[in-house]
Structure 1
Amino acid sequence: MVAVAPVKYSDQLIDWLKEDGYTHCFFVAGGNIMHLLDSVRSRMTCVPFIHEVGATIGAEYFNAARDPEGGRAFVLVTAGPGVTNTLTGVAGAWQESRELLVIAGQVKKEDLANGEVRQRGIQEIDGMALVESISKASLRIEAPVPRDEIMALVHQGREPRMGPVFLEICLDATAAAPLPDDGVGAFPAWLPDVDAVSTADIDRVREWLSDSARPVVLVGGGASRATIRTLVEETAAAGIPLMTTWNGADRVPTEHPMYAGRPDTWGQRSANVLVQQADLVIAVGARLGLQQTGFSWQQFASVGRVVQVEIDEAELTKGHPRVDLPLRGDADRFLFDLYTGSLPAPARWAEWRSFIKDVRRELPLNEAVNVTAEGFVKPYELAMGICDIAGPRDVVLPCSSGGAATVSMQSLRMRADQKLVGDKSLASMGYGLAGSIGAALANPDRTVFLTEGDGGFAQNLQELGTLAATGCSVKIFLMVNGGYASIRMTQRNYFGGAWIGCDESTGLGLPRWETLAASYGIRFARMDPSDPFGGAVGQAIAAPGPALIEVPIDPEQTYFPKIMSAVQPDGSMRSNPLHLMSPDLSEDVAVRVFRYLDV
């Protein structure tokens, strides 16, 4: 794009962002951002969304899926409902610790209520107050603010633990004359790099490894995608089994010789069984929240010691789970220092690695207990196959809630340089479509494979218009079971099948998907259970541009294994520890896989 000299403050602000690496603006137009839109249209790639929540989720996923040398996206929304509509996306980015810049319009300075009345300006609402608990920094700009102050706030969203930044700009401030420019070029880092874990502490971890017979390294989303790939020879030669959290799922490909699975409350049974038997868990870049440890966190890694490497001191001191050696520091540096230094001979853990292979063979990803009626696709086998049909550099994007999410995260077999982006902390329905558009725009030479349930997809299906307009290569596997399967299951398990609002028979309205796809000019195919990736589906995957693939899922499909909870007499819930997933294992299998546990 041709450089345009700033003639007003909005021009100047957008120029600053462009200098800082922003390339895309995701927006919904509005009167209170008219000057900002006028400025950004000639300076960046502008992507109009139908709804502000879609734009916000799209920007979050763009930044989460970008290559390190790639551009950045921010969200531009108008005042009032423009701001309130972003809140779910802002909350999701906050809980996932992801970079997100939201710029919102505001009424003129003279029209601000300033707490004197509920509202003075038309569409006025206090956006800063709304985002206070879910943002790292926020600022209302009532008059032009210098570059260094603006960029200091923007950089707060990146390090040391990322999160949303919210800027609210009064309409008259955007139209004001630009400030005297205080220089161009790179901005100083807002914060210094996170300190490396000390040599003494790394030596202590090595000592514990020397004492350990059953160690695992649990890699979380705080470690970069490039780390294990850069250290592939070192991690393979070290002989220490590698596991990943859900947010770290694409850090270690399945074919890595040390890969041992993804433990989680909704994790793989084999990985849960194994992490619970480790005598040393080294969690790197993982906050070890309740989803990772289970609600029965007191029993997480109960037979071993836990090392946690985290950049957030609060996560190290929160009190759950038990952490024997909390280390504040950069996850990537820790992994490099650990694996490039002296480690015990890998033969020390040969028996443990052999046991891991036996357990993973004994406990398959698709358990025989799962029942799929005739004429429906087996969801676990579908998820197991998606990474195989995807290219080695493509993006796999599970939705954020329900059976389509949990089946994917249990069964996806990541390979090569494939990326995975999800949003599991908030676990909001409706994330998948907008997120896939953002991920696709950040990776224009790759295809995005989205798995989403029909109930969740319907919550933001308006962004099919954005998908059609952009022409992104997004292949949507729409798991059609007539509504909210996970809610239906909850109502069955805990309330005796007192169903309400969970499917079409109980009042939920859903579209005819083929008709909907045709109305947007998007290629449609219906999956044949006997040949899931063949026929029209195969053609839709191979064709350029987007495709909506309807996947018939049995409404009575079972989703095992899982951690079960029981309602207690006082109304509270009690959950099993990670390794005791339902259904129970047979006695002979339990004897073989629980070798180091007293069950």
Structure 2
Amino acid sequence: MNEIIKVSDLIADFLIENEIKHVFGIIGAGNAHIFDSIQQKGYTEIICVHHEQAACMAMQTYYRTNGKVTAAILTTGAGSTNGITGVVSAWADSIPGIIISGNEHSKFVELHKDVRMWGVQGYDSPAMVEKVTKYAAKVSEANLVVYELEKAYSIAKHGRPGPCWIDIPMNLQSTNIKENEIIHFQLSDLPQLNLDADLNLLESIDLITDSIKKSKRPLFWFGNGIRLANAESLLEPLLEKYNIPALVTWAGIDSIDSNHPLVYGRAGTYGQRSANFILQNCDLLICIGTRMAISQIGYDINELAREADIAVVDIDKFELDKYKERYKYSVNADAGVFISKLLEKELNQSLDFSNWIQRCDKYREDYPWFNSEDHPDKDGFINSYQFMERLNPYLKWDQHITTDMGTALLSGHQVLRIGKDQRLMTSTGLGEMGYGLPAAIGASVARGKGEVLCLNCDGGMMMNLQELQTIVHYKLPIKLFIFNNDGYLMIKHTQNALFNGRRAGVDSNSGVSCPNFSALATAFGIPSFQIRTWEDFDVIIPQVQEVSGPVICEVFMHPYQLFVPKLGLAIQSDGSLISPPLEDLSPFISREELKKNMLNGLHPKSSNIEV
């Protein structure tokens, strides 16, 4: 029987066939048929947000939480342009997803193709996003809709993951076609990676294991590419086999238990001092599944782990080309395949790095992740780093955490200890304010509308404030902590450094103010708390953790609190500036102490810094 099927029903069937139980979006004229078909089918639930960028951000953490690719359903015109920030964010962090956008009637797409606007609101959305998606296409014929969706779904997951965008004119959505007219995508059309059978990979494994055997101070650096490869379960066996210390990137924090004895923290420009010392003193650095971002490696690749041979494993060969002159081994491979091969490799000798491990332990002991001297309370305000340290024991065994930028990102990623069954998710590529709350929505929906703790800030909250109604409507048990520091704290510090403290557009005195979030919580029907003192903390945190539904907890902190340790410029008495290497974090320690911690002495830049 050659059944007649409506195209929008085929789109809904595509979601069902791929077991996509939730999608995110906002309805409009350009996607009304899709919404109707999805609802009529009854399998997939549409989570209706209040801004399209939130749909594309929630799509990301939905995948990061349960490993299931989902979709954002956008309408034409501003409905699709609104989603682009979330799409670029997914592109930057290699998160797969499908964006299905509506567009004007095909006759206007063709008639107006050479003018700025098509029909009423239409424009060439695939052309706009083609540089920030793995695949972007405008469907021209009704019988190609399923083909393009299947192609996008396959490409999104293939190789280095990322978002794909399929634009479907509204008249095609409402068209009826015969079942035998439907064209399907063939998986055989995808390019074959064959990374696990690559002889170069096997040669690289031999070379790297030989280097490990010769090394005295080897170090692993684990990135989020490991989780994207579904290989996080291999990390503990890897450490057990090789007995090598490890660091994690910010995006890879939750890939392994922070309390594992061989996991020494998170290095970088806002890294932990102990982790940076370990990084800068290693003699072999093996980086797996990390794109070696500036915030991770510093501003000069030649100052990174200066005495070390560096091996980098990345599925994207263009990332390897970025610093190829510095890398001794560039391995174009899937992180999971690479780790599996390392585990299979016969070593034929015992590895003893006990002296190096003892030194790493000493760094961790001397420079703990949280140092009260660096993070004192001031002027009656509690310090956000102290807050994170005191929050650690209150985290539930399976706590899922999302963060926004600024205070939530910096103090959270430096201090929080993430256990084996806990998660910590944020935007590390684009780093957009406003990510935290939509991210919490995506993670909660992926957990069966389960609990998520969202660390946010007053400035970031204002970027997607409307999504409070989304969590209320769907009764999502999101615990929302809002750090109130009167505006944009990171930019205040930038202005201090660049403009002698002149302010513009960063706080209530220079053009930006935020509302009373407790009063706002009342308006949304959300219970709220305020923490101003440690006495408040001791009473309120247990209460917040016991609330079963949405809750807001506002945390008041100093409007000029410092974010330290950090890599910063050293201003000398003559006004000159020195940009130090990664081990020399601010606040600067004495040159004698720094020298004691560096096996090969001080870098010339550090020697010239006046402390």
Q: TM-score range by the shorter chain?
A: over 0.9
For residue 362 of structure 1, the aligned residue among 359, 366, 381 is 366
1:30 corresponds to: 28
SS in 2 for 1:13: helix
Structure 1 gaps, min length 5: none
Which residue type is aligned with residue 264 of structure 2? Answer: A
SS in 1 for 2:61: helix
Give the superposition deviation at 1:282.
Answer: 0.5
Q: How does 1:415-564 map to 2 (within 5 A)?
A: 415-444=419-448, 446-531=450-535, 533-564=537-568
SS in 1 for 2:310: strand
Give the superposition deviation at 1:502.
Answer: 0.5
SS in 1 for 2:24: strand
Which residue type is aligned with residue 88 of structure 1? Answer: T
* Separation (CA, whole Å) in 1 of partners of 2:389 and 2:164: 37
CA RMSD of aligned residues (A): 2.5
Give the superposition deviation at 1:233.
Answer: 4.3
Identity of aligned residues (%): 27
1:391 corresponds to: 396
Q: Cα deviations across residues 239-273 of structure 1 (Å, max 9, x unaligned)?
A: 10111111111112111121111112221121112
Q: How does 1:377-388 map to 2 (within 5 A)?
A: 377-388=382-393
Which residue type is aligned with residue 29 of structure 1? Answer: I
SS in 1 for 2:141: coil
- Determine if contact 1:239/1:347 at 8 Å carries over to the other structure: yes
Q: Cα deviations across residues 162-185 of structure 1 (Å, max 9, x unaligned)?
A: 111111110110001134258999
* Separation (CA, whole Å) in 2 of partners of 1:539 and 1:441: 23
* Separation (CA, whole Å) in 2 of partners of 1:57 and 1:211: 45
User: Which is richer in helix?
Assistant: 2
SS in 2 for 1:31: coil
- Determine if contact 1:100/1:165 at 8 Å carries over to the other structure: yes
SS in 2 for 1:580: coil
* Separation (CA, whole Å) in 2 of partners of 1:78 and 1:244: 39
- Cα distance, 1:272–1:231 mapped onto 2, change above 3 Å: closer
* Separation (CA, whole Å) in 2 of partners of 1:179 and 1:278: 64
| Alignment partner of 1:403 is 2:407 | yes
1:55 corresponds to: 55
1:91 corresponds to: 88
Q: Cα deviations across residues 524-567 of structure 1 (Å, max 9, x unaligned)?
A: 11125324643233212211111111011111212111111479
- Cα distance, 1:186–1:445 mapped onto 2, change above 3 Å: farther
1:11 corresponds to: 9
Give the superposition deviation at 1:329.
Answer: 0.9
* Separation (CA, whole Å) in 1 of partners of 2:133 and 2:178: 27
2:105 corresponds to: 108
* Separation (CA, whole Å) in 2 of partners of 1:576 and 1:360: 22
1:160 corresponds to: 159
* Separation (CA, whole Å) in 2 of partners of 1:50 and 1:218: 39
Which residue type is aligned with residue 395 of structure 1? Answer: H
* Separation (CA, whole Å) in 2 of partners of 1:312 and 1:597: 35
- Determine if contact 2:235/2:256 at 8 Å carries over to the other structure: no
- Determine if contact 1:296/1:576 at 8 Å carries over to the other structure: no
- Cα distance, 1:488–1:237 mapped onto 2, change above 3 Å: same
- Cα distance, 1:566–1:167 mapped onto 2, change above 3 Å: farther
SS in 1 for 2:87: helix
- Determine if contact 1:95/1:426 at 8 Å carries over to the other structure: yes
* Separation (CA, whole Å) in 2 of partners of 1:26 and 1:338: 39
Q: How does 1:217-366 map to 2 (within 5 A)?
A: 217-224=220-227, 227-319=231-323, 322-343=326-347, 348-366=352-370
Which residue type is aligned with residue 107 of structure 1? Answer: E
- Cα distance, 1:166–1:108 mapped onto 2, change above 3 Å: same
Structure 2 gaps, min length 5: 604-611
Stretch deviating more after TM superposition (454-463 or 581-590) = 581-590
- Cα distance, 1:350–1:530 mapped onto 2, change above 3 Å: same
- Cα distance, 1:465–1:389 mapped onto 2, change above 3 Å: same
- Determine if contact 1:522/1:546 at 8 Å carries over to the other structure: yes
> How many residues get paired?
589
- Determine if contact 2:264/2:360 at 8 Å carries over to the other structure: yes
Give the superposition deviation at 1:388.
Answer: 2.9
- Determine if contact 2:242/2:351 at 8 Å carries over to the other structure: no
- Determine if contact 1:432/1:450 at 8 Å carries over to the other structure: yes
1:175 corresponds to: 174
- Determine if contact 2:231/2:335 at 8 Å carries over to the other structure: no
Q: Cα deviations across residues 40-82 of structure 1 (Å, max 9, x unaligned)?
A: 113311110011111111111111222x4xx442101110000
Q: Cα deviations across residues 392-428 of structure 1 (Å, max 9, x unaligned)?
A: 22212121x2232111111111112111211121111
Q: Cα deviations across residues 79-112 of structure 1 (Å, max 9, x unaligned)?
A: 0000110111111111111112111110001122
Stretch deviating more after TM superposition (410-419 or 164-173) = 410-419
SS in 2 for 1:449: strand
- Determine if contact 1:277/1:597 at 8 Å carries over to the other structure: no
- Determine if contact 1:21/1:72 at 8 Å carries over to the other structure: no
1:21 corresponds to: 19
Q: Cα deviations across residues 429-479 of structure 1 (Å, max 9, x unaligned)?
A: 111001111011111375212111111111111100001111112111110
- Cα distance, 1:187–1:394 mapped onto 2, change above 3 Å: farther
Q: Cα deviations across residues 146-200 of structure 1 (Å, max 9, x unaligned)?
A: 4344312221111201111111110110001134258999974745455126333
Q: Cα deviations across residues 285-326 of structure 1 (Å, max 9, x unaligned)?
A: 111122221112221111100011111111111236711100
- Cα distance, 1:578–1:231 mapped onto 2, change above 3 Å: closer
1:216 corresponds to: 219
SS in 2 for 1:250: helix
- Cα distance, 1:157–1:233 mapped onto 2, change above 3 Å: closer
Which residue type is aligned with residue 554 of structure 2? Answer: E
| Alignment partner of 1:203 is 2:203 | no
Stretch deviating more after TM superposition (229-238 or 479-488) = 229-238
* Separation (CA, whole Å) in 2 of partners of 1:58 and 1:16: 20
SS in 1 for 2:129: helix
* Separation (CA, whole Å) in 2 of partners of 1:78 and 1:549: 34
Which residue type is aligned with residue 54 of structure 2? Answer: G
* Separation (CA, whole Å) in 2 of partners of 1:114 and 1:213: 66
- Determine if contact 2:71/2:100 at 8 Å carries over to the other structure: yes
Which residue type is aligned with residue 79 of structure 2? Answer: G
* Separation (CA, whole Å) in 2 of partners of 1:467 and 1:184: 39
- Determine if contact 1:234/1:340 at 8 Å carries over to the other structure: no
* Separation (CA, whole Å) in 2 of partners of 1:456 and 1:506: 17
- Cα distance, 1:364–1:344 mapped onto 2, change above 3 Å: farther
Give the superposition deviation at 1:16.
Answer: 1.6
